[in-house]
Amino acid sequence: MHASTQQENAVGLNAVGMDEKLAEVMQAKAEHQGCGTSGGSGKASCGSSAGQGDLPTEIWEKVKNHPCYSEEAHHHYARMHVAVAPACNIQCNYCNRKYDCANESRPGVVSEKLTPEQAAKKVLAVASTIPQMTVLGIAGPGDPLANPEKTFKTFELIAKTAPDIKLCLSTNGLALPDHVDTIAGFNVDHVTITINMVDPEVGAKIYPWVFWKHKRYTGYEAAKLLTDRQMLGLEMLTERGILCKVNSVMIPGINDKHLVEVNRAVKSRGAFLHNIMPLISSPEHGTVFGLNGQRGPTAQELKALQDECEGEMNMMRHCRQCRADAVGLLGEDRSAEFTTDKIMAMEVNYDLDSRKAYQALVEEERVAKVAAKQEELEALAGEQSDIKLLTAVATKGSGLINEHFGHAKEFQVWELSTAGAKFVGHRRVDLYCQGGYGEEDSLETIIRAINDCHAVFVAKIGGCPKADLIKAGIEPVDTFAHEFIEKSAITWFKEYLNKVKTGEIVHTARGDAEIRQGALINAA
Amino acid sequence: MTLKIVASQCTSCSACEPECPNVAISEKNGTFVIDPKKCTECIGHFDVPQCAAVCPVDDTCVIDNAYPRYQPTA
């Protein structure tokens, strides 16, 4: 582990009292339950999920308010990306950075590029407006390490003006070994590497070329070079105690089965978290895969692969595949509020104390949520059943059922069993981008997106959609409005099990669901 | 000859700018341009023109036939 850093110290000062309190609650919770709530593979819920679990305190301190590294944190804390890194040193078949629609949300896409100075101003403006924004990431739109000067200049400026903000970056790994020491020097605690293969034969189908040491390499040679550099970079980071998340794009027929091998390879090199994401592929994106009709996985295929890898290491299930200029909680994008014109006109008053005070409140909310869940879990303790099912939840964040069915832009998906409620993903149901696909019945779209769920929890729902959901076999539940998700879901599940027991209902399995591929509206 | 950047295809990603051994590339009106007086097609520096090798869009850094072939001085 590298030495405790200035940045960590600053974060530590933020809410020492609350952190201790939280740590105690988490500790007590972990002791009570063994590790997390998912049952089965205990590993899954440790670290990436709710509590500290078996994580060393030093690592828990690093992840507990990072929305991407802690599933539990993502309900409360926000992140932002600054698009200071336009250049890239490799070409991927799922990426086309030329395409930039303001209404579209996927990695590699950005509406405007920033200079490091503009980025630093933007970070201060956002941090002042959104006090729960704790993480600044550089994720492109190209590769941060193909733009090392811009990336590190940005880090330097932000470390000076907003020392409590965690810095992180996301890279393809090709240039990573050359920059590991600089990354460590800037106290970057979190690095994400996108690793789609460890076999160059597979890689040759994903990467048409890489540019390295003044030369463009293609085919097997390119993929071999990339995988060697990625593995070396990963090892160098973990040696220095920097937490590594590995992102993998699941491409059916190309690397879907191979990702189990990738999972083993990155785990053995000390990766902390594995994020398997569905391929986003649509002809209008203009990517090679989009144009040649390569499909993305279904919800069931994705979940099956994530479940298969879960026994091996922590899996990230809450990734929203956000843009290189995203701002806000993971489920939202407030980047439109912070365009360069708007930021430059803003009077920014960076008030560390008010940020601290706000975050202390967030911690209170978080502790209350954990306590509520604990209560219900105890109630579930006597239940014996093999039934495991999925439910969808309409939420605006904070771990509450607080969104109207008709306003939801996404649904969280929770798996319920007698081991408790486990977050396993989310489904986007935004309306199609204007000028993209034609108008489609949004209710049908929603039903297709959550078709594998037995129930949908909402704050409110109209009579019409209610009837249609029931017809589709999905129970709309509005009796837990503005209550905690996990507690409510467990209460509902207990009743469900009782109904099955008494013969009032018969438990049947649900079908598959669709992962949205089209262009999406990101504005509120 | 020298290389030129097809402006309509340039994504303005800036990848070419630092790769040019002659510092011939700069940003102009939102896209990048090559100064024909400075471009040497990378002859004497590299096997292939660096801007074309790193450019993410095919056929965007291309030979500009409006100029005579670059003659390296001995």
Determine contact, residues B15/A88, Cβ cutoff 8 Å. Answer: yes
C-alpha A270: how far from its chain's center? 20
Contacts of B27 in chain A (CB under 8 A): none
Q: State residue A41's pLDDT score.
A: 34
List the CATH number of the domain containing B48.
3.30.70.20
Option in B14, B47, B53 nearest A211 (CB):
B53
% of chain B surpassing 90 pLDDT: 62
CA A16 to mean position of chain CA atoms: 26
Q: How far is CA A513 from CA A18, A93, A265, A356, in A?
A: 40, 25, 30, 41
Q: Which residues of B touch A142 (CB under 8 A)?
A: 13, 15
At A25 the pLDDT is: 37
Task: Provide the 3-class DSSP secondary structure of residue A201.
Answer: helix
B-chain residues near A89 (CB < 8 A): 15, 54
Mean pLDDT of the region B26-54: 92
Query: Can you give the residue range of the structural domain that contains B47?
Result: 1-62
Which residues does chain B have within 8 Å of residue A97's beta carbon, measured at their own beta carbons? 11, 13, 56
Q: Is residue B10 part of a domain?
A: yes
At A470 the pLDDT is 93
Whole-angstrom Cα distance, residue A439 to residue A243?
A: 43
Q: Which residues of A touch B56 (CB under 8 A)?
A: 88, 91, 97-98
Quote the CA–CA distance of A95 and A106 in Å, as a whole number: 10
The span from the CA of A516 to the CA of A295, in Å, is 11
Position A520 scores a pLDDT of 43
Residue B72, in any domain of the structure: no
d(CA A279, nearest CA chain B) in Å = 20
Residue-level pLDDT at A197:
97
Interchain contact, B11 vs A89, CB within 8 Å: no
User: Among A98, A147, A211, whose Cβ lies nearest the Cβ of B54?
Assistant: A211
- What is the count of residue pairs from A and B with beta carbons less than 8 Å apart? 42
Helix (H, G, I), strand (E, B), or coil: what is residue A243?
strand
Closest CA to A376 of A425, A423, A418, A424: A418
Task: Work out the number of other CB atoms within 10 angstroms of the CB of residue B16.
Answer: 25
The answer to whether residue B52 sits within a structural domain is yes
Minimal Cβ distance to A97: which of B13, B47, B54? B13
**CA of B73 to nearest chain A CA: how many angstroms apart?**
23
Tokens representing A457 are 């929890």
Cα B40 → chain centroid = 9
Please give chain A's pLDDT, 524 residues, in tens: 333 333 333 333 333 333 444 444 334 333 333 333 333 333 333 333 445 666 778 777 788 777 777 777 777 788 888 889 989 999 999 988 665 554 555 666 666 788 999 999 888 888 888 888 888 999 878 899 999 999 999 999 999 988 889 999 999 999 999 999 999 999 898 999 999 999 999 999 999 999 999 999 999 999 999 999 999 999 999 999 999 999 999 999 999 999 999 999 999 999 989 999 999 888 877 889 989 999 999 988 999 999 999 876 788 877 777 777 777 777 677 877 888 878 777 777 778 888 888 888 888 888 887 787 777 777 777 778 889 999 999 998 778 999 999 888 889 999 999 888 888 888 888 654 433 343 446 788 888 899 999 999 999 998 888 999 999 999 999 999 999 998 899 999 999 999 999 999 888 888 888 887 654 434 33
- The percent helix, strand, coil of chain B (3-state, each to 5) is 10, 20, 65
Nearest to A55 by CA among A314, A309, A315, A398: A314
What's the whole-model pTM score?
0.80
Q: Is residue B67 part of a domain?
A: no
Nearest CA to CA, how far is B17 from chain A (Å)? 10
CA distance, residue B22 to nearest chain A CA (Å): 14
Query: Does A141 sit behind a cis peptide bond, omega within 30 degrees of 0 on the bond before it?
Result: yes
Partners of residue B48 in chain A, C-beta under 8 Å: 215-216
How far from the centroid of its chain's Cα atoms is residue A378's Cα?
Answer: 29
Report how many domains make up chain B: 1
Total count of residues recorded for chain B: 74
Q: Chain A partners of B58 at a C-beta cutoff of 8 Å?
A: none
Q: Find chain B residues with C-beta within 8 A of A88's C-beta.
A: 13, 15, 56
pLDDT at A46: 34
Alpha helices in A82-175, H assignment, sequence order: 116-129, 148-161
- Please report how many Cα atoms fall inside a 13 Å half-sphere around the Cα of residue A508, on the Cβ side: 6
Whether A377 contacts A430, CB under 8 Å: no
Look at phi and psi of residue B30 and say left if phi exceeds 0, alpha if psi is from -120 to 50, else beta: left
What whole-number distance in Å separates Cα of residue A133 and Cα of residue A54?
26
**A87 vs B15, B48, B50: nearest CB:** B15
Q: Is there a domain that residue B70 lies in?
A: no
Q: Is residue A404 helix, strand or coil?
A: strand
- Chain B residues whose CB is inside 8 A of the A86 CB are 11-15
Nearest CB to B15; choose among A98, A113, A142:
A142
Any domain includes B68: no
CB A202 within 8 A of CB A254: yes
The reply to whether ipTM tops 0.85 is: yes
Q: Å from A388 to nearest chain B CA? A: 46
By C-alpha distance, the chain A residue nearest B50 is: A214
- The string of DSSP codes covering A142-159 is S-GGGSHHHHHHHHHHHH
Q: Are A138 and A326 in contact (CB under 8 A)?
A: no
Q: Which of B15, B48, B50 sits opposite A88 (nearest CB)?
A: B15
Describe the crossing of helices A176-185 and A219-239 by its angle, rounded to 10 degrees.
20
- The Cα of A98 is separated from the nearest Cα of chain B by a number of Å equal to 6
Minimal C-alpha gap between B57 and chain A (Å)? 8
Of all residues in chain A, the one with the smallest CA distance to B45 is A214
pLDDT of residue A3: 37
Taking the C-alpha atoms of residue A233 and residue A210, their distance in angstroms, rounded to an integer, is 16
Query: Chain A residues with CB inside 8 Å of B12's CB?
Result: 86, 113
Which of A89, A150, A211 should we substitute to test contact with B (largest number of B Cβ atoms within 10 Å)? A211
- Assess if residue B34 is contained within a domain: yes
Residues 6+ apart with CB under 8 A from A257: none
Please check whether residue A222 is in contact with residue A287, taking contact to mean a CB–CB distance below 8 angstroms. Answer: no
The chain A residues in contact with chain B (CB within 8 A) are: 86-89, 91, 97-98, 113, 141-142, 146-147, 211, 214-216
Which residue of B9, B11, B47, B57 to mutate against A (max A Cβ within 10 Å)? B11
Interchain contact, A215 vs B53, CB within 8 Å:
yes
Would you state the pLDDT for residue A293?
A: 92
pLDDT computed for residue A443 by the predictor: 83
